[in-house]
């Protein structure tokens, strides 16, 4: 049986990828190269420093660690400025309705995000009160596909991994769920998320009854 759902944030509950993208693009342009939306696909679900390393690789730029830390901070300051204007209209279609339905059925809800800015996003969109546990980038030391973020979530909920379902838009997130011993629902295309137990284009129209059939 399923007693808990763990949600990734960016790409599942909200579309913050576009804000990450414009902040990374701004940084790339400052460094003298372009950064396309296709390049940005490689950063989804990846931690901030790992994202910077991919970006620098795309630009063919080598920098020392101190400079990289400063650039990551600069990008983050821009990103925080962009997301500080977010509100509940930016919750992705069907996400709030599905979470509300889970709560009504007594199914626990947790967040499992790589972002260190997750609390700001949850507060601005009004989602915070729905979560029984929140695991974000400030609480983890291992990035997805390491299962840590979801293992910690299940532990905080007091739920066995076998009773958890993870909702993820990133391939690394689906792998993390599998390694945590959990079932998973991919949000996006089955081309990249084929390893998930079920793939949906979005949470719109998804029901608790369909979840329980997994």
What are the residues binding Mg ion (CB under 5 A)? 8, 10-11, 45, 169-170
Q: Considering beta carbons, is residue 55 or 198 the nearer one to ligand G16?
A: 55
DSSP summary character for residue 92: P
For the bound state, the minimum distance from the C-beta of residue 1 to ligand G16, rounded and expressed in Å, comes to 26
Report yes or no: 79 and 67 within 8 Å, Cβ to Cβ. Answer: no
For the bound state, the minimum distance from the C-beta of residue 106 to ligand G16, rounded and expressed in Å, comes to 25
3-class secondary structure, 157: helix
Q: Give the C-alpha separation, 190 to 194, whole Å.
A: 5
* Per-position x/- string for 47-76, each x denoting binding to ligand G16 as judged by CB under 6 A, each - no binding: xx--x------------------------x
Residues making up the chain, counted from first to last: 214
Helix (H) / strand (E) containing 165: strand 164-168
For the bound state, the minimum distance from the C-beta of residue 212 to ligand G16, rounded and expressed in Å, comes to 25
Distance of CA 1 to the CA centre of its chain: 25
> What is the number of alpha carbons within 13 Å of residue 36 lying toward its C-beta?
3
Could you say whether residue 125 binds ligand G16 (CB under 6 A)? Answer: no
Q: Considering beta carbons, is residue 137 or 181 the nearer one to ligand G16?
A: 137
Could you say whether residue 145 binds ligand G16 (CB under 6 A)? Answer: no
48 binds, among Mg ion, ligand G16, none (CB under 5 to 8 A by kind): ligand G16
Q: Which residues are catalytic, by number? A: 8, 10
């Amino acid at each position: 049986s399923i007693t808990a759902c763990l949600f990734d944030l960016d790409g599942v509950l909200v579309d913050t990828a576009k804000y990450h993208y414009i902040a990374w693009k701004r940084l790339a342009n400052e460094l003298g190269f372009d950064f396309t939306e296709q390049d940005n696909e490689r950063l989804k679900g990846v931690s901030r420093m790992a994202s910077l390393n991919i970006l620098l690789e795309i630009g063919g730029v080598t920098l020392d660690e101190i400079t990289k830390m400063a650039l990551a901070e600069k990008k983050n300051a821009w990103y925080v400025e962009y997301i500080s204007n977010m509100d509940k209209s930016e919750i992705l279609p069907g996400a709030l309705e599905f979470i509300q339905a889970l709560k009504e059925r007594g199914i626990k809800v947790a967040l499992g995000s790589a972002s260190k800015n997750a609390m700001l996003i949850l507060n601005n969109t009004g989602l915070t009160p729905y979560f029984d546990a929140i695991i974000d980038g400030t609480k983890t030391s291992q990035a997805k596909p390491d299962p840590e973020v979801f293992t910690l979530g299940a532990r905080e909920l007091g739920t066995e991994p076998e009773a958890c379902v993870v909702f993820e838009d990133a391939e690394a997130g689906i792998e993390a769920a599998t390694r945590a011993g959990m079932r998973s629902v991919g949000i996006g295309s089955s081309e990249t998320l084929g390893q998930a137990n079920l793939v949906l284009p979005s949470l719109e129209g998804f029901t608790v009854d369909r979840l329980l059939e997994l």
